Amino acid sequence: MQKDRTVGGVDIRLLVPKLHLVDEDCLAAAAEQPSLYEKSARYLVATMRAVANADLLLDKTKAEQSIIYRDEAERDKRKLTVGALEGLLDLEPQVEKARIFLSRCREDQKYASELCESFRQRGQMIKILADARMREMSAVVIARDAENFSKDLESELGRKYKDG
C-alpha cells in the first residue's frame, strides 16, 4: 500500500518508485542511493516522532477525562474505582479518537521502517551489481592482456627465428 502524504519533509510518492533498480542503470542508482536512503530515514524519524506525540496525546486525553470523571464522582459523593474509571475512559469518544490516531501513527512507523530497510537492501544490491561488473571488467582486461602478451611473444619468437 502506497502512502500519499508528505511526512517530515519527505514525499513518499516520489520515494517509493525509486526502489525499482535496473541493472543497466547501476551507476545512476549508486549516485542517488545515499540521498534516497537519507530521505527514507528522515521519514522514519518523522513517523517515530508522530508516534511519540500521539502517545502523549492519548495520555493527555485520558488524564483530562479522568479528572472530569473524578470531579463528578466527588461532587456526587460516590466512589469511583480504578476499574470503573478505566471503563468510562474506554467509552469516551475523545479517548477512542486518540487511540485510533496512535494506531495509525504506529502503522505509518511500521511502513516507514519497512521502507527504510528496503532502501538499505537496495544499497546492498547496488554493491553486488557493481562488484559483478568489476569482475566482468577484470576478466575482459585479463583476457585482453593475455592476448596482447601472446601476440608479443609470437612476434618476438618470430623475430628470433628469422634472425637465427
Residue 4 domain-assigned (yes or no) = no
Residue 80, classed as helix, strand or coil, is: coil
> In this predicted model, what pLDDT tens digit does every residue of 112-160 receive, in sequence order?
999 999 999 988 988 888 888 888 778 777 777 777 777 777 777 777 7
Determine the residue type at 101: F
Residue 8 domain-assigned (yes or no) = no
Residue 70 domain-assigned (yes or no) = yes
Distances in Å between the alpha carbon of 130 and those of 6, 64, 116, 134? 32, 58, 21, 6
Residue 162 domain-assigned (yes or no) = no
Q: Using CA atoms, how far apart are residues 62 and 87, in angstroms rounded to an integer?
A: 11
pTM (2 d.p.): 0.70
- Domain count of the fold of the chain: 1
Top-confidence residue, 112 or 6: 112
Residue 104 has pLDDT above 70, yes or no: yes
Residue 115, classed as helix, strand or coil, is: helix
Q: Using CA atoms, how far apart are residues 56 and 148, in angstroms rounded to an integer?
A: 72
Residue 88 domain-assigned (yes or no) = yes
Residue 6 domain-assigned (yes or no) = no
Residue 54 domain-assigned (yes or no) = yes
Q: What is the mean pLDDT of the chain?
A: 85
Residue 6 has pLDDT above 70, yes or no: yes
Q: Using CA atoms, how far apart are residues 87 and 126, in angstroms rounded to an integer?
A: 54
Range of the domain at 37: 29-127
Report residue 161 CA to chain centroid gap. Answer: 68
At residue 164 the predicted structure's pLDDT band, cuts being 50, 70 and 90, is low
Top-confidence residue, 17 or 69: 69
At residue 42 the predicted structure's pLDDT band, cuts being 50, 70 and 90, is very high
Residue 63 domain-assigned (yes or no) = yes
